Structure 1
Amino acid sequence: MVDTIRNRLLRLLADRRFHSGAAIAAELGVSRTSVWKWVRELENLGLEIAALPGKGYRVLSPLELLDSAVIRQHLGPEAAASLTALLIHDQLDSTNTQLMRLAAEGAAAGTVCLAETQTAGRGRIGREWVSPFGSNIYLSLLWRYEDTSRIAGLSLAVGVGVVRALAGLGVADIGLKWPNDLLLGERKLGGLLIEVAGEAHGRCAVVVGLGLNRYLPPRLGRAIDQPWADLSMNGGPPPRNRLVAALLDELLPLLDRYAAVGLAPYLPEWRGHHRWQGREAVIHQGETRTLGRIEDISAAGLLILRCADGRLREFASGDVRLRALDHG
């Protein structure tokens, strides 16, 4: 973390205890008025901070700053061998965007990018991803493949890897929604965004992005236009650096093996976690709407919908939006 006044204040408040304005000012070498201004800036980043006369300032959010040494300490041997670079930023436009830039510059497979906050985090179909500072997971991984045809269904396999990582940390009731959503109960917990850049001779660079809500301040959650959840709703969020390590333990080996094994080993598990199996749904493709019942997922990861006329149709993940008819 860069040694700025803001980041020094963050380190000071990270213990989530009260610190008086006078003590903070003395520690940082600034005026008490400046302390108040820096606290306001932290609040603008999405942190919840209590200010009480006679006691000072205290962070209410479950703040845990990213630490590469702690993350590496908790990695298993297979993930550690696959990790070529672990890049941690205080602030980025988007971890996916940053890693796509680095991929174009020749970054190696196994490069991982994390950020404390994002100013232009993205979900599917260009939606904004709410990214408060220091509490959630904004993670992207780069891998390179010799043949683009070998990555069909990758987002589904990655979803299984995330579920496995969370289960290993004791997080229960995690489900999947085709093609890229992670659910806690029926509410959106996180999402995946996979971007591909083609290269010469059929090779490609793949960036796998994951946004996962560990703790989302309610005032920011009110701006989200769908039911959402975070891991604090499930008995308290796991330690943030430990969570990153658990995700990398699953996802780095998965990306390494995927060209050889494909989706098949993950598909039964994905189906077992699919919360929308058998439900009535509407699929949007531009101005076209198709109604039907979700029947299954194909071997290639396509959604199979039984339409109102009884026919089965397959849909690719890149060009549809899925909305339930029997659920808000």
Structure 2
Amino acid sequence: MATAALEKTLLHILSDQRFHSGSELAAALQVSRTAVWKAIRGLESLGLPVSAVPGKGYRVAGPLELLNAAAIEAGLTPEARALLTGLELHDRIDSTNSQLLRAAAAGADAGRACLAETQTAGRGRVGRRWLSPLGANIYLSLLWRYDEPSQAAGLSLALGVAVLRALAEVGVTGVGLKWPNDFLWNERKLGGLLVEVVGESHGSCAVVAGLGLNRHLPREWGRNLDQAWTDLTEIAGSALPSRNRLAAALLNQLLPVLAGYPASGLSAYLTEWRAHHHLQGREAVIRQGDAWIRGRILDVTAAGFLLLECADGARREFASGDLRLRLAGS
């Protein structure tokens, strides 16, 4: 059995979170115990925490719920089900956003969704890497199509509102928004959005909206992050939402926003977005290229730009672009 296939089969066996001895696994998989051990090490390298207990065997140490298309579809509203034109589930992929950008170039319809157990080249804003431990979090991208790129202006803010609505749907509240696309809880990052717009020759465009949301981030992976972080395990505790239920809730909220955005625009979501804006009125530092700009965050404009009162008293507007935003002193 090839290594990738062996790891996949082993993952599904271990997903019951019971102990399985090395000899039991070797017999079930028709491989040697050494091959089982190597496959488990491979799963651990992808972020799956596995405990090995002498006399008992191997068991997944943290919460593990693999993606399941039937379970996700069962949680969809009639509206979301009608808008969803395809649901891709991948065990391992470079990036869910990259996958749907390829699908868009091949002519895929609007409404396609892509989820993955892990990403080998997950991406955040400004070309940053997005850590994607196996079976732990939500890695979700959606494809939509608009008549022209201008119809997607401010879309990431509207999608941020949709994510908060989805979290509330599964019982998670108290999450705030950080312009332009991050989710925070107690000053720590819970997730983020990456919206990519690709223009086409006839004036229309394909939009791929990607979401990374920490459901259960292994501690050892968190040490590789350059900012404070949190996950839904910490926020929700014993009420941690089912991963498939969470995926369905996100589709329930994100798909209608994508479908209706050309008609509604950002104005339909801006009041709600402002109510959850975590940085409103706070001192912040913006890095734009080699420049560092300090000031107080005043608001977000009707176009979705950040309004900053700079140290010299001048007010400036910033589009998200390639800038980075941090609280002063963080």
Alignment TM class, shorter chain as reference: over 0.9
Count the aligned residue pairs: 326
Match of 1:73 in 2: 74
Q: SS of 1:62's equivalent? A: coil
Q: Give 1:283 deviation, angstroms.
A: 1.1
CA RMSD across the alignment = 1.2
- Alignment gaps of 5+ in structure 2: none
Shift of 1:269: 0.7
Question: Deviations along 1:196-233, whole A, 9 cap, x unmatched?
Answer: 10013321100000001001100111010100111000
Deviation at 1:38, TM superposition (A): 1.1
Question: SS at the partner of 2:194?
Answer: strand
**Secondary structure, in 3 states, of the residue corresponding to 1:223?**
coil
Taking the aligned partners of 1:229 and 1:235, their CA distance within structure 2 comes to: 11
The alignment status of 1:54 with 2:55, answered yes or no, reads yes
* Cross-structure match for 2:256: 253
Does residue 318 of the first structure (1) align with residue 291 of the second (2)?
A: no
Q: Which position in structure 2 is the counterpart of 1:137?
A: 138
Mapping of residues 82-101 of structure 1, within 5 Å: 82-101=83-102
In structure 2, what residue type is equivalent to 1:276? L
CA displacement, residues 11-64 of structure 1 (integer Å, 9 cap, x when unaligned): 111011111111111111112121111111110110000001100000012111
Distance of 2:304 and 2:106 partners within structure 1: 31
Q: Which residue of 1 aligns with 2:247?
A: 244
Distance in 1 between residues matched to 2:56 and 2:36, nearest whole Å: 14
Shift of 1:239: 0.7
1:277 counterpart residue number: 280
CA distance in 1, matches of 2:28, 2:245: 30
Q: Distance in 2 between matches of 1:132 and 1:28?
A: 24
Q: Is 2:40 the counterpart of 1:39?
A: yes
- Rounded to whole Å, the distance in 1 between the matches of 2:107 and 2:118 is 25
- Structure 1 runs of 4+ with >3 Å offset: none
C-alpha distance in 1 between matches for 2:176 and 2:236: 17
Alpha-carbon separation, structure 2, partners of 1:144 and 1:231: 31
Partner of residue 224, structure 1: 225
- Counterpart of 2:43 in 1: which secondary structure? helix
TM-fit CA distance, 1:70: 0.9
Question: Percent identity at matched positions?
Answer: 63
> Matches of 1:310 and 1:181 in 2, distance apart?
27
Match of 2:177, SS state, is: strand
Is 1:25 paired with 2:26?
yes
Aligned residue type for 1:260: A
1:140-167 C-alpha deviation (Å, 9 max, x unpaired): 0000000211111100000000000001
Q: Report how far residue 235 of structure 1 moved.
A: 2.6
Determine the structure 2 residue equivalent to 1:291.
294
Q: Distance in 2 between matches of 1:298 and 1:235?
A: 33
User: The residue matched to 1:112 in structure 2 has which SS?
Assistant: strand
Supply the distance in 2 between the matched residues of 1:159 and 1:247 (Cα, whole angstroms).
11
1:121 alignment counterpart: 122
Residue equivalent to 1:192: 193
Deviation at 1:130, TM superposition (A): 0.6
Amino acid at match of 2:153: A
Structure 2: which amino acid aligns with 1:245?
Answer: A
Q: Which residue of 1 aligns with 2:179?
A: 178
For 2:229, what is the secondary structure of its paired residue?
A: coil
The aligned residue for residue 266 of structure 1 is: 269
Letter in 1 for 2:236: G
Report the Cα distance in structure 2 between the residues aligned to 1:319 and 1:65, rounded to whole angstroms. Answer: 34
1:106 equivalent in alignment to 2:107: yes
Uncovered stretches (5+) of structure 1, i.e. residues with no partner: none
Cα shift at 1:177: 0.2
Shift of 1:311: 1.8
TM-score normalised by the chain length of structure 2: 0.97
Return the alpha-carbon distance in structure 1 between the equivalents of residues 228 and 30 of structure 2.
Answer: 44
CA distance in structure 2 between the aligned counterparts of 1:9 and 1:226, rounded to whole angstroms = 33
Pick which of 27-36 and 88-97 moved more.
27-36
